[in-house]
Chain A
C-alpha cells in the first residue's frame, strides 16, 4: 500500500456483505474515522470479495492482515478504539475457526485479483508502485507488436469470457485484418447469475484493464479502446472513469505514450444489462446503438466488428492477466495450470458451500480442492451432489468428477463448460430438475428473441420443466425435452441458445433417475418440488375433533367426530390450513 494512509480498512465488496447492512459501510467507517480524528492516517475502501460471504460483512485491516467477520455497525467503534488506537485485536470478531478449517488462501493463487484489495483503486500511484504500467512500457519500448502478440500466444492464455479461444491468436487475427481503424473492446457485460469477478477487478484494480487494453491496442494496431460495461455497475464505472482520467493525466494513455508514436484513448459505453449483450456480436450491435441482437459469425469481429472495423473483444478477466504475463513472462504464466489451460481462473462460489464468494485458483485445481479445501465443505456436512459450472450455459459435475482437474477441456469433456466462472454447489436436498428449470427461466428471460429456436424453444423447454416439477409430466415430455434440447442447441444463432439447454442435457445424463422419478413414480427424490408433497392425517395422533375438516376451504377432509379423518387428494389444494389448525400435530406432509 503506497498511499498516504498508514492503514486501510478493506471492506469486502461481495453482494452479500454489501447488502448485509442497510448502510454504506465504507462511508460509515470513514465518518467514524473522522470522528476519532484518524481520517488523515487511516481510510476505509471498498475492496474485493474475500470469499467468506456466509460470515460477512468482512473487513480486513491492512497491512496488519487481520480479518474481522460478521461486523455490525456498532463493532466499528470497537475496531477503531481497540485495534487502531490501542493495537489490540478484537478477538470476538475474528473467525479463526473457519479460516483454519478452510485454509482459503493456501490453494489459491492470485494473478487476476493480484492487486484487488491491496491497492487504492482510485489512486494510480498505488498501481504504479506495484509495477503498474511497466508492462505497457516494456511492450512499447522493447517489443514490436508482433513480439507482443507472440508473447501472449506463448503464454497460452485463453479467453476467460466463456469460449476459451486463444487470446493471442485472436489478437493476431485482428492485427492481420487490414483497416484504417481498429478497436479494442473490453467486454464488461458480466451477466452470469452470481458471477461478479469482472466487477471486482474493475472496482479493485481498474488500471490493470486499462493497461492491458493499451497493450492490446499496440499489438493489433488500434488507437481506440472501448469498455462496454453494464450500467448496473456504478462503482466500477466511477473507478474506471477515475482511473482513465488519472492514466491520461500521467500520459499513460492519450498521445505519444512513453514518447513513442503510439496513441491510445479509452471510452466507456454502457449496456442496459441484457445477458445476450455479453455475446460479442450482440455487444457490438448494442455499442452501435442498435438492438442487442447477435449476428451471424463469420464474419468474426476480428475481421468486421464495431462500425464494420476489425475489433478485438476480450473480457475483463482476460485483460487483467495481460500485464502480469508481460511483466513476468510467458514462460512463468504457462508454467501455471494444465497442458492446454494456462494460468488461473476466478470462480464465484455459491450455493450449499461454507465459504461462498470469489476464489482464484490455478487451472487444474480439482473440484474436491475447490469445494472442501477452499470452500470449507458443504453446509451442515450434507452430501455433495453436483456443481453447476458455466452458469446457465454450463452443465453439472457430480461426485465422480470430484477429482477432475478443472480446466477448459476437462469441463467440456465432462459435459459442462468453464463459462465465465460461476460455480454453484448443490447438496442432496437439491432437485436437479428444479435446478434445470431455474436456469431455463433465466434463459427465457434473457433470450433476445431473434432466432426461433431460442425464442420459442427455450420457452417450451421451460414450460415442460415446470410441468415436470408440478407433477404433471409424462414420459413423452422427457423425450420431447431431450429432442428439443438437442435441436435448440444445434440450430440457435448465438452462444446463448447454443448452450441454454446444457443444464437440461447434463442433468438428464447424470440424474436421469430423478427425471424418471418425477414422471413415473410421481416423486421428487430430493423433496424440493413441493407439488409432489401430499398432506396426510396420522392415525395415531388424530382425535377426530373435526377442526381441520371445518377449516378446509375445499371440503377435502372427510371424517366423523372422534373418528380418524382422511384427506381426499383429488380435491386437496395443498393450502396447509389443516396443518396449521390441528392442535395435535396429526397432519403431516409426505
Chain B
C-alpha cells in the first residue's frame, strides 16, 4: 500500500494514500469531533455531506478551514487540529447550532443519548452567546415515527438512509436557508408519504428530531388495570441488544433478565415471539413447498420466487413501489401478527377470558411493527390482534422508570404455551435467519430425510445481497437474501424483468435485519455493534436443543389441538393475509 507523510499538530505520521484527514487522524489516535458524518463500514454506508462544519481543521496553504471528513490527505500536508482558530471555529459553529435548537434537554426523549448534547458537553459549552429566532415547524406524528423538526440540526443522515440505502424516497430537503429542513414532499405528513416506517432515519438521527411514537405510558396504564390480562411477546433481536441500554457489551444475550424484568413489570404472561416465528416457518415453509412442488411439476401459473413477508417495512415497500408484484410474497403473516392472532383466539380460550380483556403487547426491535399492528386487516371487530408495540429502547426506559435493577435480576423463563421455541426461530432476528430456518424445515419435509447439518453458513453474513444454492437431495434450490430496501429493490427489479433465478428470497428492510432495526439501542454509527448482535443470535441458536421449527413441541400441539395442519382453512384465516396497492396512496392535501 502506498503511504504518504503528513503532519498533524506538529507530529509526523505516515498514512495510506487516499485517506481522509479524519480517518488518518483516527488511525494515529487523534480525535476530530464530527456531527453530521456517519460511516457504517461493514455496510459500506458513508455519509459526509460536509454540512455541520464541526470537523473543520486548518490545512497549511488553504485559505479556509476544511472539513476533515471529506478532505483527502495530500503528501506533505500540514494539518492543525488544535489551533485556536480551529477550536474557536468549532465552538462557535456548535454554539450556532445550539442557538437554533430548543434548550429542553431535561425533558427531551433523547437526553443522555443525544449526539448534540454530548458534543456540547465535550466542548464545554456553558453559555448561549448567539441568541435569536429559532426555526419551528409543525410536529408530525404517524403510527410509528414522530417528527419534531425544531430539533433537526440539518445533518441529513436520515436522507442518506431513506433515499440512498433504503431507496424509499420519503424525505428530502425543503425550504431555503434558515428554514431549510428535511420533510416529506410538499410538507405532507409522514403518514401520507411513501414512508415504510422502517425507522432507519430514527436509528441515525443524532437528536430527537426523529423519534419513535412512545407507547410506554399507555402500556403502564393497562398493566395497572385489574380487569385486563396483559401478555407480552418479545422478538428475537431484542434479547441481543437490550443489555446495551444497561451497560452490557454489544452482543450480550439478556434473554433471562429481560423475561424477569417483564414479569417484574407486571405482565401476566411473558411469551416469546420466537414461538410465533416457528409457526411462521410452518406456514411459510408449507407455502414454499406447495409452490415449489407445483413449479417442479410444470404448473405455469405458479409464482416464484417466494418472498418472505415477516418484515412490515418491506411489506409497505412493495405495496408502495412494486404493487404489480404483490402476489409474489408469501401470504404468511409476520410472527408478531401470528402471535397476536393465536393469543386472542387459542390462548384466550385456554385462559377463559374474553378477547377484549386480553391485551397483547409486543417488544420489538422495530418501529414498523407499531404501524403493522394498527393495520385494519389485523383486527377483529375493531379489536387489534396486537394492541401495543414497544421498541427495545422503550422497554429499557420502562424498566428504568419502574426502578428495576436490571443488572442484578435473576434469569427467568418464558411462560407456556407460547414461550417455547427452536433455534431456527431465534435467528429470525438477523439477515439470512428466516430463510435458514425455512430451509431447515423445508428440506426435511421435501426430502423426507433428516437434516444432519443444520448450520447453513453460506446463508449468513453481512453482505447486502447474498445468494446460495441448497441441494434438496438432488433438487437445487436457489436462495437469495437481501437486507436494506435498496437491495430489495435490486432483486425486485430483476424479478420484474424476468431475470430472477431464485426459488425463494428473504428480505429484511433494515441493514443487518432486525438486529439493526429502527427500535434498537442506537449504534451511533458503529456497525461492529450489529455484528456482535448477529453473533449473539447464532450462538443462542447453537445452544438450543431443538433447532428446527417443525420439531417445536408447542407448535405440534397447537396444530393438533387447534389449527389442524399448515395452510388449513383455520390457518389461512388466522395466519395469512393479503396485500394492497398503495402506489396511488400519496395525496397532496396541504397547501
Q: Is A449 an interface residue (CB 8 A)?
A: yes
Q: How far does the alpha carbon of A548 sit from the alpha carbon of B72 in the complex, in Å?
A: 70
In the complex with contacts A449-B154, A460-B99, A493-B53 CB distance below 8 A: yes
Contact B154 A463 (CB under 8 A): no
CA–CA, A484 and B72, complex, Å: 27
Query: Are A491 and B130 in contact (CB-based, < 8 A)?
Result: no
The stretch among A79-87, A192-200, A234-242, A451-459 that forms the contact with chain B is A451-459
Partner of B97, one of A293, A445, A450, A456: A456
Give CA–CA (A457, B96) in the complex, Å: 6
Which residue from B53, B72, B176 sits with its C-beta under 8 Å from A491? Answer: B53
Given the interface pairs A445-B177, A447-B177, A450-B51, the reply to whether A459 lies near B70 with Cβ below 8 Å is no
Complex Cα–Cα for A446 and B178 (A): 9
Q: When A291-B173, A296-B67, A484-B130 are in contact, do A492 and B88 touch as well, CB less than 8 Å? A: no
| Minimum C-beta distance from A195 to chain B (A) | 20
Partner of B100, one of A296, A445, A456: A456
Task: List residues 335-362 of chain B with CB under 8 A from any CB of chain A.
Answer: none
Answer yes or no: B149 CB below 8 A from chain A CBs: no
Closest A residue to B91 by beta carbon equals A487
B180 touches A491 (CB 8 A): no
The docked-state distance in angstroms from the alpha carbon of A491 to that of B178 is 17
Instruction: Give complex CA distance A298, B73 in Å.
Output: 12
Instruction: Please give, as numbers and ranges, the residues of chain A lying within 8 Å of B129 by CB-CB distance.
Output: 480
Q: A491–B177 contact, CB under 8 A?
A: no
B64 partner, pick from A291, A446, A483, A490, beta carbons under 8 A:
A490
Does A444 belong to the interface (CB within 8 Å)? yes
What's the minimum C-beta distance from A281 to chain B, rounded to whole angstroms?
11
Given contacts A448-B176, A452-B93, A460-B96, contact A490 B52 (CB under 8 A): no
A451 to B70, CA, bound (A): 14
Inter-chain CA distance A450–B132, complex, in Å, is 19
- Assess whether B180 is in contact with A456, with CB atoms less than 8 Å apart: no
Chain B CB within 8 A of A274 CB: yes
Within 8 Å CB of B71, what residues of A?
Answer: 296
Q: Is the CB of A487 within 8 A of B178?
A: no
Known A451-B53, A452-B52, A493-B53: A463·B132 in contact at CB below 8 Å? yes
Q: List chain B residues, Cβ under 8 A from A444.
A: 177-178
B179 is an interface residue with CB less than 8 A from chain A: yes
Task: Say yes or no for A498: interface residue by CB 8 A criterion.
Answer: yes
Report if A449-B178 is in contact (Cβ < 8 Å); known contacts: A455-B154, A459-B132. Answer: yes
Residue in contact with A484 in the complex, picked from B65, B92, B173, CB distance below 8 Å: B92
Number of interface residues of A (CB under 8 A): 32
Is B133 among interface residues, defined by CB-CB distance under 8 A? Answer: yes
Residues of chain B within 8 A of A487, CB atoms compared: 88-89, 92-93
- Tell whether, in the assembled complex, residue A453 and residue B176 are in contact, meaning their CB atoms are under 8 Å apart: no
Chain B residues near A437: list those with CB within 8 A: none
Q: Is B537 an interface residue (CB 8 A)?
A: no
B508 interfacial by beta-carbon distance below 8 Å? no
The answer to whether B133 touches A451, judged by C-beta atoms less than 8 angstroms apart, is no
Q: For this complex, into which size category does the number of interface residues on chain B fall?
A: 35 or more
Contacts of B172 in A (CB 8 A): 291
A565 at the interface (CB under 8 A from B): no
For A447, A449, A492, which residue has the most chain B Cβ atoms within 10 angstroms? A449
| Known interface pairs A447-B176, A449-B178, A456-B178; A491-B132 also in contact (CB < 8 Å) | no
Looking at the complex, which one of B52, B72, B173 makes contact with A451 (CB distance below 8 Å)? B52
Chain B residues within 8 Å of A451, by CB: 50-53
- The complex places the Cα of A445 from the Cα of B403 at a distance, in Å, of 50
Tell me if A483 and B88 are in contact (CB < 8 A). yes
Hey, which chain B residues are within 8 Å of A484, CB to CB? 92, 96, 130
- Kindly state whether residue B175 has any CB partner on chain A within 8 Å: yes
Binary contact readout B160-190 vs A (1 if CB under 8 angstroms, 0 otherwise): 0000000000001101111111000000000
B67 touches A453 (CB 8 A): no
**A296 to B97 Cα, complex, angstroms:** 20
Q: Which A residues are in CB contact (< 8 Å) with B175?
A: 449
Residues of B within 8 A of A490 (CB): 56, 64-65, 85, 89
Asked if A449 and B99 sit within 8 Å, CB to CB, the answer is: no
Provide the residues of chain A in CB contact with B50, threshold 8 Å. 296, 451, 493
A452 touches B176 (CB 8 A): no
User: Of B53, B173, B179, which one neighbours A452 at CB under 8 angstroms?
Assistant: B53
Contact at A492–B53, with CB atoms within 8 Å?
yes
Do B93 and A453 touch across chains, with their CB atoms under 8 A apart?
Answer: yes
Indicate if the CB atoms of A498 and B93 lie closer than 8 Å: no
Instruction: Please name all residues of chain A whose beta carbon is closer than 8 Å to the beta carbon of B130 when the two chains form the complex.
Output: 456, 460, 480, 484
The verdict on A489 contacting chain B, using a C-beta distance below 8 Å, is yes
B153 within 8 Å of A (CB atoms): yes
Q: How far is the CB of A497 from the nearest CB of chain B, in Å?
A: 9
A444 to B179, CA, bound (A): 10
Residues from chain B with a CB closer than 8 A to the CB of A491 are 53, 56, 64-65, 89, 93
Q: Could you tell me the distance between the alpha carbons of A460 and B92 in the complex, rounded to whole angstroms?
A: 12
Which residues of B sit under 8 angstroms from A457, Cβ to Cβ?
A: 93, 96
Q: For the complex formed, measure the closest distance between the CB of B543 and the CB atoms of chain A, giving whole angstroms.
A: 49
Q: How far, in whole Å, are A453 and B91 apart by their CA atoms in the complex?
A: 11
Q: B176 contacts A445, CB within 8 Å?
A: yes
CB proximity of B149 to chain A, nearest CB, Å: 12
* Contact call A446/B177, Cβ cutoff below 8 A: yes
CB neighbours of B92 from chain A (8 A): 483-484, 487
Closest residue on chain A to residue B100 by CB atoms: A456
Is B49 engaged at the interface, CB distance under 8 Å to the other chain?
yes
Residue of B nearest to A445 (CB): B177
Scan residues 462-519 of chain A and give those whose CB is less than 8 A from a CB of chain B. 463, 480, 483-484, 487, 489-493, 498
Q: Within 8 Å CB of B173, what residues of A?
A: 291, 293, 449-450
The distance in angstroms between the C-alpha atoms of A459 and B135, with both chains bound, is 11
A86 nearest CB across to chain B (Å): 56
- The residue among A274, A446, A460, A493 with the most chain B CB atoms within 10 A of its own CB is A460
The answer on a CB contact under 8 Å between B53 and A459 is no
Nearest-CB residue, chain A, relative to B54: A452
Smallest CB–CB gap between A484 and chain B, Å?
6
Chain A residues with CB under 8 Å of B72's CB are 298
Contact B52 A459 (CB under 8 A): no
Given A291-B172, A459-B132, A484-B92, do A452 and B178 touch, yes or no (CB 8 Å)?
no
The closest CB in chain A to the CB of B49 belongs to A450
Contacts of B85 in A (CB 8 A): 490
Whether the Cβ atoms of A493 and B51 lie closer than 8 Å is: yes
Instruction: Give min CB distance, B95 to chain A, whole Å.
Output: 9
Question: Which of B53, B133, B176 sits near A463, CB closer than 8 Å?
Answer: B133
Closest to A293 in B: B173
Contact of B177 among A291, A455, A463, A489 (CB under 8 A): A455
User: A-facing mask of B46-63, CB < 8 A → 1, else 0?
Assistant: 000111111010000000
> Which chain B residues in 66-122 approach chain A with CB under 8 Å?
67, 70-72, 85, 88-89, 92-93, 96-97, 99-100
Q: How far is the CA of A498 from the CA of B153 in the complex (A)?
A: 20
Contact A459 B88 (CB under 8 A): no
Q: Which residues on the A side are within 8 Å of B179 (C-beta)?
A: 449
* B56 CB contacts on chain A under 8 angstroms: 490-491
Kindly list 9 other residue pairs between chains A and B, CB separation below 8 angstroms, not including A455-B154, A456-B96.
Answer: A448-B177, A449-B179, A450-B154, A452-B53, A452-B93, A453-B93, A491-B56, A491-B65, A492-B53
- Interface residue ranges, A against B (CB under 8 Å): 274, 291, 293, 296, 298, 444-453, 455-460, 463, 480, 483-484, 487, 489-493, 498
Contacts from B to A (Cβ < 8 Å): 49-54, 56, 64-65, 67, 70-72, 85, 88-89, 92-93, 96-97, 99-100, 129-130, 132-133, 153-154, 172-173, 175-181
Question: When A and B form their complex, which 8 residue pairs have the shortest distance between CB atoms, in order from nearest?
Answer: A449-B180, A447-B177, A456-B96, A487-B92, A463-B132, A491-B53, A459-B178, A460-B130
Contacts A/B (CB < 8 Å), 16 sampled: A293-B173, A296-B70, A446-B177, A449-B177, A449-B178, A449-B180, A449-B181, A451-B51, A453-B53, A458-B178, A459-B177, A460-B96, A463-B132, A484-B130, A487-B92, A487-B93
